[in-house]
Structure 1
Amino acid sequence: GFSVDNPTLTRFFALHFLLPFAIVGLTLVHLTFLHDTGSNNPTGVPSDCDKIPFHPYYTVKDILGFALMISLLVSMALFSPNLLGDPENFTPANPLVTPPHIK
């Protein structure tokens, strides 16, 4: 019969380890070709003088947005950790009763 054994798990692990690197490589190739040939011009602006350069304006904007979201999440985790927790954690443990999902 069918069984998941060591070779299957090894291949699955190798796939999940190598796939992000392949995706990053394809993304870099895509960006290289996109910036090499240029993309469509949806704004209709014929020259580069009216455009806003991506770096540093959008890069700084994205970094500030990520920093704001991370600081919000960290402050919630530090100052109000019960807000992010599972309500099941507040149920007192009974060592004499086995939980129903384990039986």
Structure 2
Amino acid sequence: MERIELHFPAGETLPAKALAGVVGSGDLEALFQPAADNELHVIIRSSVDGGQQRWQHLFERINAARSLPAGRLDINDFGATPGVARLRIEQVLEEAGNV
């Protein structure tokens, strides 16, 4: 089990908490909580060791496509593919923006 922490500058704020996915499904769960600071704090708990660089690159690609929000993003990963991980992250951020 690996725990990874990443931090990114935030370019927007989202109004609500949100949840996407279910970790028990052998997939990935993403929980977002907004914050007033100027940073996105990402905490990843993964069943797959050695994924720091993969997660870093994934968030860099997401950040290139959209502005990351201020807050905390907890990710509980049970071996999801990078495509599923990105989908869940985008889903949780979209849900947090829809109030």
Give the TM interval when normalised to the shorter protein. under 0.3
Higher helix share: 1
- When normalised by structure 2's length, the TM-score is 0.23
- When normalised by structure 1's length, the TM-score is 0.22
Larger relative contact order (Cα-Cα within 8 Å, sequence gap ≥ 6): 2
